[in-house]
Amino acid sequence: MGTVLTLKLINRGKVRDLYRLGDPDEKLLLMVASDRVSAFDVVMKEEIRDKGKVLTAMTEFWFEYLGDRFPNHIVATNPTLQDLGEELPEEFQGRAMLVREAEMLPIECIVRGYLAGSALKEYQISQTVHGQKLPDGLSAGMKFPKPLFTPSTKAESGHDINISFGEAARIVGADTAARVRDMSIQIYEIGARRAEEVGVILADTKFEFGFIDGEAALCDEILTPDSSRIWEASELLAGGEPTAYDKQPLRDWLESVGWNKLPPPPSLSVAVQESLRNRYIAVYERISGREFLS
């Protein structure tokens, strides 16, 4: 038995806690996904039981599925005593990924296959999506002829802002912007094909990239219900509003109670919490073909 790892918290996001492992020059981080849930950039007071484990398992599945096709930050998705040199604290089991520390790009790499969310709102106002002009007459839930790369700023505080590819290129440089755009679209297409095989639609998703050893690498969580919109395919096809296996039911509920989207958020009932939990587990099990073990 090794001793239990001592960890230094270096960053607490809305959902994840980042700990440094060893000396800073080793550039190793432990990313631990909590059960926190945020909506409209506000963290809810209640947690969604097991959510951090589901997101970690889903990210693990996808990184395995992608293999070594894209540079990424993973050292070990399920770090063992051997990886860490010490015992992982019990409360981190199933939630931790050992990753290489990256210099994160200050943009979010969103890919959209379908018209929804903030892109739908923008389209309804100006017929554009992240500044790109689109044809008339598109409606909610419609599929784009080709997936769109629609970046946003990654705001330190407050809301991210949708930007054009040109603006992203000004922020991170033209070469890097083109590289992360191409990778984002390819990974989205791989994910969307897998989703389709099991009858769900990956409507859109967000990736984060960072520089590791001078190369843009895929970081953070990938293709999870926190970072994506995932719909029941048959229901969309039938023309209805599809079941959403993501945060949309929570957003809808928060809007239905008239919350002004400023802290403090309203309390989530057990029914709302359980409904989200069940959807996350269901879509994880369907896409990965694995059973969720809490």
Ligand X SMILES: Nc1ncnc2c1ncn2[C@@H]1O[C@H](COP(=O)(O)OP(=O)(O)OP(=O)(O)O)[C@@H](O)[C@H]1O
In the complex, the residues that contact ligand X under the rule CB under 6 A are: 13-16, 18, 29, 73, 99-102, 104, 208, 210, 219-220
Closer residue to ligand X (CB): 70 or 123: 70
The candidate with the shortest Cα–Cα distance to 53, out of 289, 219, 286, 285, is: 285
> How many helices (H) and strands (E) are present in the chain, helices listed first?
8, 16
Closer residue to ligand X (CB): 34 or 150: 34
Question: What is the torsion angle, in degrees rounded to the nearest 10, for the CA atoms of residue 93, residue 99, residue 102 and residue 105?
Answer: -60
CA-to-CA distance for 133 and 12, rounded, in angstroms? 37
**Least distance in Å: CB of 75 to ligand X?**
10
Tokens of 39: 């909506």
**Least distance in Å: CB of 91 to ligand X?**
17
Closer residue to ligand X (CB): 101 or 122: 101
Closer residue to ligand X (CB): 29 or 169: 29
The candidate with the shortest Cα–Cα distance to 195, out of 239, 147, 153, is: 147
Residue 27's φ and ψ, nearest 5 degrees, are 55, 50
**Least distance in Å: CB of 199 to ligand X?**
28
**Least distance in Å: CB of 278 to ligand X?**
22
- Sign of CA pseudo-dihedral 46, 50, 54, 59: positive
**Least distance in Å: CB of 219 to ligand X?**
4
Measured from each CB, the residue nearest to ligand X is 13
Residue 146's φ and ψ, nearest 5 degrees, are -135, 150
**Least distance in Å: CB of 124 to ligand X?**
26
Closer residue to ligand X (CB): 167 or 220: 220
Closer residue to ligand X (CB): 42 or 185: 42
Query: 161-195: buried (b, 16+ CB within 10 Å) or exposed (e) per residue?
Result: ebbebebbbebbeeebbeebbebbbebbebbbebb
